[in-house]
Amino acid sequence: MAIRECPLCLVTKEVVSSHLLSSALYKYCTPPGGKPIAFSSEIVLESSRELQHPLLCVNCEDTLNKGGEEWMLPLFARFDGSFPFHDLLAQEPPAIVDGHVKVYAAATNSRLDAAKITHFAMGMFWKAAIHSWRGGKTEPLIDLQPYTEEIRKYLRSEAPFPADAILMIGVVPPPVRHVAFTLPYQGSSQARNNFVLYILGIEFTLLIGKAITEEQRSASFTAHLARPILVVDFQPMMQEIAVTVMKAARKAKNVEKYLVKR
């Protein structure tokens, strides 16, 4: 353990090893008899290494856990084909059906806890905005600008959800073939206020800033009273992006056998 200021409560005390993404998510991404495949634009390798760093105090870890992680973690898609979150969502009929796209109103589904869903996602984005999570790097994964502090206060129940921020949620219909997760990243080089996080069948998109449009707010999980969740199969697009990134990367020997099979 280390003694330093906890970035969530701002009190100097012992901090523990914090995960950017929970250990449970790594287990969900582990194929039978193998290890998760990690890749970036630089390297593709088979690895069980988890991203963690001495960061938060025990009390603040508990705040994030009880705020949303404990509720959300059992609901993501697995290798066995189960997807509990989608099962809960589909217990009620969709509010809108447009071709292959379905929109569900989470506000009318008592099985869904909108507060915990929001707290979970915002906790992930906030942790990515306060630490690099990469060896040899010092700058955070993403830059949430002044909204980092607003989100910190929201996570501690010291302030409401930021007025100039919205969270949008997209869900993949089963079967989920993209059994993977990404680290939070900036979604567009043109729009610096757009951040994305994909976890095992669910994509969270965070928009920040005064340029958010009314149309975007109307589709927002946090701004619209119906709490809309979009269900559409965006997996082909994600897989295309993954293949493009992997093509330029160096392949470790422990993944060559999988790539040859493919």
Closest CA to 198 of 238, 250, 153: 238
pLDDT value of residue 262: 46
Domain that holds residue 82: 2-261
The pLDDT profile of the chain, 262 residues, written as one tens digit per residue, is 689 999 999 999 999 999 998 988 888 888 777 777 666 656 666 667 788 899 999 999 999 999 999 999 999 999 888 999 999 999 999 999 999 999 999 999 999 999 999 999 999 999 999 999 887 788 999 999 899 999 999 999 999 999 999 999 999 999 988 888 888 888 865 566 899 999 999 999 999 999 999 999 999 999 999 999 999 988 777 777 777 766 766 666 666 655 555 4
Where b means 16+ CB within 10 Å and e means fewer, 149-158 reads ebbbebbeee
Number of domains in the chain: 1
Contact 254, 45 (CB under 8 A): yes
Helix (H, G, I), strand (E, B) or coil at 255: helix
Helices (H), the chain: 23-28, 58-64, 70-72, 84-89, 114-130, 147-155, 214-218, 235-247, 253-261
Phi (first) and psi of residue 240, to 5 degrees: -65, -40
